[in-house]
């Protein structure tokens, strides 16, 4: 049923997708907003420094990509799909399901399926992590173009919110997100041995 609803939501995508990307974008596009001037908070026993912007907390490199995305990404018409998800809610699954539905091969021939030989994160690029920081040329991507973002709705580029593009959103129980996020943080900090305690309410 979930797959059927997702397929129905993605039907009827057509028209011309317009996107502009300068290959030499500044990493911080808004001179009035400097990362160094934003409120900061440490997390995971001071292993990570976070910056607050528009009501959400970001790692500084991610915030720089988010600012570039908000300033430079232009979408028009209804020929693009934005997969929107918070951290640890099932992003990899969405990056697999949406292209599979859109580009479903006829019969059993999967030679043209990009997921056969590629990781989902290489098939669907994250705007603030892969497109703008790495200066990807997205003008050559086939239509319909599928992108992903971790940005909340209020921080999305106006051309996305004001266009007819499809936004596929996946929520998850905040407590489950918290547990998954802590597990990921521990996995990255393999040498971390100190005892710690976290407040669930403070983290969300």
Angle between the N-to-C axes of helices 2-10 and 91-102, in degrees from 0 to 180, rounded to the nearest 10: 60
Q: Do the domain assignments include residue 181?
A: yes
| Section 140-144 average pLDDT | 81
Contact partners, residue 57, CB within 8 Å, separation at least 6? 41, 43, 50, 51
Q: Do the domain assignments include residue 110?
A: no
- Does residue 63 contact residue 53 with C-beta atoms inside 8 Å? yes
- Does residue 154 contact residue 180 with C-beta atoms inside 8 Å? no
* CATH number of the domain to which 136 belongs: 3.40.50.300
Q: What is the pLDDT of residue 40?
A: 92
Domain limits for position 129: 38-104+117-187+198-203
pTM for the full model? 0.74
Q: What is the pLDDT of residue 107?
A: 57
Q: Do the domain assignments include residue 138?
A: yes
Look up 148 and say whether it is catalytic.
no
Q: What is the pLDDT of residue 201?
A: 59
Q: Do the domain assignments include residue 23?
A: no
Q: 47: which 2 tokens?
A: 């292993």
Q: Do the domain assignments include residue 165?
A: yes
Instruction: State the average pLDDT for the chain.
Output: 75
Percentage of residues in the chain having pLDDT higher than 70: 68
Q: How far is CA 108 from CA 105, 113, 116, 130, 165, in A?
A: 7, 11, 13, 32, 30
Q: Do the domain assignments include residue 6?
A: no
Q: Do the domain assignments include residue 4?
A: no
Confidence class for position 16, pLDDT limits 50, 70, 90: very low
Q: What is the pLDDT of residues 84-141, one digit of tens each?
A: 999 899 999 999 999 988 877 655 666 677 888 889 999 999 999 988 766 777 777 8
Name which of 49-58, 90-99, 138-147, 186-195 the model is least confident about.
Answer: 186-195
Domain tally, the chain:
1
Residue among 24, 121, 148, 150 flagged as catalytic? 150
Pick 197 or 180 by higher pLDDT.
180
Q: Do the domain assignments include residue 17?
A: no
Confidence class for position 64, pLDDT limits 50, 70, 90: confident
DSSP 108: T
Q: What is the pLDDT of residue 14?
A: 34
HSE, side-chain direction, 13 A CA sphere, residue 193? 1
Q: What is the pLDDT of residue 136?
A: 73
pLDDT surpasses 60 at 162: yes
Confidence class for position 197, pLDDT limits 50, 70, 90: low
């Amino acid at each position: 049923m979930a797959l059927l609803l997702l397929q129905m939501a993605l039907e009827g995508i057509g028209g011309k997708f317009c996107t502009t990307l300068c290959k030499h974008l500044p990493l911080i596009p808004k001179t009035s907003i400097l990362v160094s001037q934003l409120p900061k908070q440490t997390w995971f026993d001071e292993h990570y420094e976070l910056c607050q912007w528009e009501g959400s907390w970001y790692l500084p490199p991610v915030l720089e990509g988010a600012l570039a995305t908000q300033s430079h990404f232009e979408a028009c018409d209804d020929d693009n799909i934005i997969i929107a998800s918070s951290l640890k809610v099932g992003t990899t699954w969405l990056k697999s399901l949406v292209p599979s539905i859109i580009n479903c091969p006829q019969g059993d021939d999967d030679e043209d399926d990009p997921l056969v030989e590629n990781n989902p994160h290489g098939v669907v690029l994250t705007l603030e992590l892969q497109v703008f920081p790495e200066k990807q040329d997205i003008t050559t991507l086939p239509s319909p173009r599928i992108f992903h973002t971790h940005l909340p709705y209020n921080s999305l580029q106006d051309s996305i919110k004001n266009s007819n593009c499809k936004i596929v959103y996946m929520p998850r129980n905040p407590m489950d997100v918290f547990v998954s996020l802590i597990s990921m943080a521990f996995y990255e900090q393999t040498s971390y041995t100190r005892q710690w305690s976290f407040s669930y309410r403070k983290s969300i």
